[in-house]
Amino acid sequence: MKKYLLWLPVVILLFFLYLPIISIVIKSFGNIESFGELFTSKKYIGAIANTFVIAIVSSLFATIIATMAVVGITKMGRRNKTATMIVNQLPIVNADIVVSFSLVLLFITLGIYNAGYLKLFFCHTLIALPFVLLTILPRMRQLDENLYDAALDLGATPFGAFWRVIIPQLMPAIVNGFLLGFTLSLDDFVITQYNNDGIHTISTVIYSAIAKKDIPNVFYALTTIIFGIILVGLCVYNFMFLRKRGKQK
């Protein structure tokens, strides 16, 4: 009995963290037709599609830039490398609202007003890029320093060496980086709210619904579906992948 009592702080913690999510799930099942609405209602499907399109395009863009960047960064001198890494760290540690505000000032200064999706693509690339870079960089460091030079010596062009030698080696990290960037973009609210020019995503629709004190049930249903997929994924990952690894040990 004492052994189980010891886990009490962990159980309390889990309960605390999951309380709002349980409430969201209950709400979504209380309004079961909202699951159908999710796929039929034209009103919200636009915002949901926008959210996913922006997340996919921006994280793809961020992944391409970051993958190219790590090839160069590992070759930089110490001081340039440190400076680059500090700049990379800035948007990660900076408050969302400060980043949003500084981007607003940037677009005003450049005179870019109604650029539609383009502004959001750039903003979300910025959200993803530093994290994608940090995901790929350690993998690049593990690669043999001479791989790229060897490819050049054997007659590959710089781009050929990058495409045929470096990229395949980095692939697992590139996929991880893309997924991380995708989730970060999906979750963003503040930066999108400040720079959207009338293009709505899930977060901004929810935000404007707060004022009307009426959150569309569709979003509770969507959250339930996404969270369900994540939970199932985690269980599968844990009980199949980790067990397999345990056996190999």
Q: Where are the alpha helices (DSSP H) in the chain?
A: 2-5, 8-30, 33-40, 42-73, 78-93, 96-110, 117-142, 147-153, 158-161, 167-187, 190-195, 202-211, 217-236, 243-248
162 binds other proteins, rule: CB under 8 A = yes
39 binds other proteins, rule: CB under 8 A = no
Question: In the window 164-223, what residues touch other proteins (CB under 8 A)?
Answer: 183, 187, 189-190, 194, 202-203, 206-207, 210, 215, 219-220, 223
Question: In the window 123-152, what residues touch other proteins (CB under 8 A)?
Answer: 125-126, 129, 133, 148-149, 152
Stretch that binds other proteins, among 36-44, 97-105, 113-121, 171-179 (CB under 8 A): 97-105
10 binds other proteins, rule: CB under 8 A = yes
Map residues 105-124 to x or -, x wherever contact with other proteins holds by CB under 8 A.
Answer: xx-xx------------x--
Q: Which residue has the tokens 């004190």?
A: 213
Q: Which is nearer to other proteins, 114 or 211 (CB)?
A: 211
Among 48, 66, 165, 174, binds other proteins (CB under 8 A): 66
Distance, in Å, from the CA atom of 76 to the CA atom of 68, rounded to the nearest integer, reads 13
Say if CB 199 and CB 181 are below 8 A apart: no
Q: Which residue has the tokens 């000032």?
A: 105
Stretch that binds other proteins, among 41-49, 52-60, 73-81, 173-181 (CB under 8 A): 73-81
Least Å distance, CB 175 to other proteins, is 18
Kindly state the helix (H) or strand (E) to which residue 144 belongs, with its residue range: none
Site size with other proteins, rule: CB under 8 A: 82
Stretch that binds other proteins, among 31-39, 52-60, 99-107, 169-177 (CB under 8 A): 99-107
Residues constituting the chain = 249
Q: What backbone phi and psi angles, to 5 degrees, belong to 107?
A: -70, -35
Instruction: Return the number of other C-beta atoms located less than 10 Å from residue 68's C-beta.
Output: 13
